[in-house]
Amino acid sequence: MLTLYTADTPNGHKATIALQELELAHDVKLVDLNAGEQHHETFAAMSPNHKIPLLVDDGRAIFESGAILIHLADKAGRLLPADGAARSEVLQWLFMQVGSVGPMLGQLWWFRHMGKESGNHNEQALQRYGREVRRLYGVYDQRLAAHEWLAGGAYSIADIATWPWLASHHELGIDMADYPQVANWLARIGARDAVRRGVAQTRRVAACAVDGGV
């Protein structure tokens, strides 16, 4: 049985979307990040970096969202080629999201929102991360001008991993008129039933927790 520990964040959405796309039976448990539940001893023993999402598959704990997506795709035999150049292409774009998109967009979000709230306004940081985030959107726009999906011919876990992050453009001050290919790709993925279910699932679990239902 699969159990996913997650929260209502882009990384959390990656895992729930993948589970819905792959039609794998699972339970979802909310980790309240604001309450610091990611630092509780039981969770930290399974996720040593104290981060969500965390997947438990028949007692085996798997942390890091990219590793979780690979595990799920291999388990289901879908959304990630088994070997060869096609698998490498998916993994390259998956690791670009994990290594560049998540960290850079996350930093820009923090300085735009949390930094200002805490009085740590840093215009230099906003400019630095803003430039890098716009550069990344440009890389993806160029890629999607030539390919329907990030890894080439087929929708994959690379698209699933990247979509929740690039879809946060409205929170980052990114004008999507500058990135029409990304905007089209975002709309196509956002219209998928499994994507809608995956996002709604995370938000529904979070809402239940706020109401005392989880």
Give the residue range(s) of CATH 1.20.1050.10 domains in the chain: 84-192
Identify the CATH class of 84-192: mainly alpha
CATH topology of domain 2-78+194-210: Glutaredoxin (3.40.30)
193 has pLDDT over 50 = yes
> Torsion over CA of 62, 59, 36 and 202, rounded to 10 degrees?
70
Q: How far is CA 189 from the centre of its chain?
A: 13
Q: What is the pLDDT of residue 182?
A: 98
Structure tokens at 73: 């795709």
Q: How many CB atoms lie within 10 A of CB 176?
A: 16
85-99, 106-120, 132-146: segment of lowest average pLDDT = 106-120
136 has pLDDT over 60 = yes
Supply angle C-alpha 72, 75, 80, rounded to 5.
70
58 has pLDDT over 50 = yes
Find the mean pLDDT for residues 189-214: 72
Work out the percent of the chain whose per-residue pLDDT is above 70.
Answer: 92
Contact status, residue 63 vs residue 51, Cβ threshold 8 Å: yes
Work out the percent of the chain whose per-residue pLDDT is above 90.
Answer: 87
Q: What is the pLDDT of residue 203?
A: 77
Find the mean pLDDT for residues 58-72: 97
Find the mean pLDDT for residues 134-156: 97
Paired residues of 56 in beta bridges: 3, 61
Give the residue range(s) of CATH 3.40.30.10 domains in the chain: 2-78+194-210
